[in-house]
Amino acid sequence: MGKDVIIACDFSSKEQTIAFLNKFEGKKPFVKIGMELFYACGPEIVKEIKARGHKIFLDLKLHDIPNTVKKSMSVLSNLDVDMTNLHASGTVKMMEAAIEGLTRPDGTRPILIAVTQLTSTDQESMERDLLINKPIDEVVMHYAHNAKIAGLDGVVCSPLEAEKVHNLCGTDFVTVTPGVRFADGDVGDQKRVMTPEQAKLIGSDYIVVGRPITAAEDPVAAYERCVREFVD
Ligand code: C5P
């Protein structure tokens, strides 16, 4: 898997998104389309960005009964996205069904990764609300291992977990890591952050970067800085 910087296009309208992408002129960064943009604009926005030549990570975090996830993944696969995801807490059976649905008749399929525990869930809320009484690190690693068993390609995780995930699931198992900030940038609401350079050193395969690029005065320069620090 090639290392790459994925820009989180967390916009709520097509106009904003296209105006942002137009700044990149000839460049075609890998972009993440999340729930906000997808629910605002529907599948058309995916088709349009794909037609412009970008790779797309469709971040919709599916979680339902296996049959529903299988059928939904088949629809997403037809959109020709490059990467998509689901919640590992949907069980191994759900993840296996997802792979089945995602695989195209010619055997190809988008990269499929799992969310383990959301980074917004902490030990306390996991115990209180989900009745899971194990250490959260252990839960995250167990879910990553389940994803591997189900045949998924990797997980979304904090850059601080990437090394442990690779040790447990193998270096080929993809780690996609948000929570990236420049050394001299604003941390904002992200709690556990790493610079692109640090993420590279600990072996992240893809970094997902939103506001440090989208809210920068010069987004193209910020993107190029990420690529320089993380990929080059
Ligand atoms: O703006 P920022 O760089 O914080 O954006 C990070 C992106 O990664 C957002 O789209 C956010 O939803 C996503 N994300 C995250 N933490 C996770 C999973 C996804 O920040 N654990």
Residue nearest to atom 19 of ligand 1 (CA): 178
Structure tokens at 85: 């995801």
Ligand 1: which residue has its CA nearest to atom 18?
178
- What's the CA-to-centroid distance between 197 and ligand 1, angstroms? 18
Residue 1: name the closest of 147, 117, 152, 219 by CA. 152
For residue 41, the CA-to-ligand 1 centroid distance in Å is 20
Token representation of residue 14: 């097509």
Q: List residues near ligand 1 (CB under 6 A).
A: 8, 10, 34, 118-119, 156, 178-179, 190, 208-212
C-beta atoms surrounding 18 within 10 Å = 14
Q: Which atom of ligand 1 is nearest to the CA of 214?
A: 1
Atom number of ligand 1 nearest to Cα 188: 4
The 10s digit of each residue's pLDDT in 44-76 is 999 999 999 999 999 999 999 999 999 999 999
Ranges of residues in the chain with a pLDDT under 50 are none
* Fold assignment, 4-230: TIM Barrel (3.20.20)
Euclidean distance between CA atoms 115 and 118, whole angstroms: 7
Tokens 């440090």 belong to which residue?
212
Q: What percent of the chain has pLDDT over 70?
A: 100
Sign of the Cα torsion 78, 84, 88, 89 reads: negative
61 is catalytic: yes
Residue nearest to atom 21 of ligand 1 (CA): 119
Task: Tell me the three state secondary structure of residue 221.
Answer: helix
Question: Which atom in ligand 1 lies closest to the alpha carbon of residue 212?
Answer: 3
Ligand 1, atom 3, lies closest to the CA of 210
Query: Which tokens is 118 given?
Result: 């959301």
The domain limits of the chain are 4-230
Residue 186's pLDDT is what? 81
pLDDT of amino acid 197: 96
Query: Quick one: which atom of ligand 1 is closest to the CA of 180?
Result: 3
Distance from the alpha carbon of residue 179 to the mean position of ligand 1, in angstroms: 6
CA 153 to ligand 1 centroid distance, Å: 19
Predicted confidence at residue 8, as pLDDT, reads 98
The pLDDT score that the predictor gives to residue 217 is 96
Tell me the β-bridge partners of 56.
31
Which of 50, 61, 164, 200 is catalytic? The answer is 61
Q: Rounded to an integer, what distance in angstroms lies between the CA atom of residue 227 and that of residue 3?
A: 9
Q: What is the pLDDT of residue 1?
A: 61
Element (H, E) at 73: helix 66-78
Q: How far away, in angstroms, is 110 Cα from ligand 1 center?
A: 20
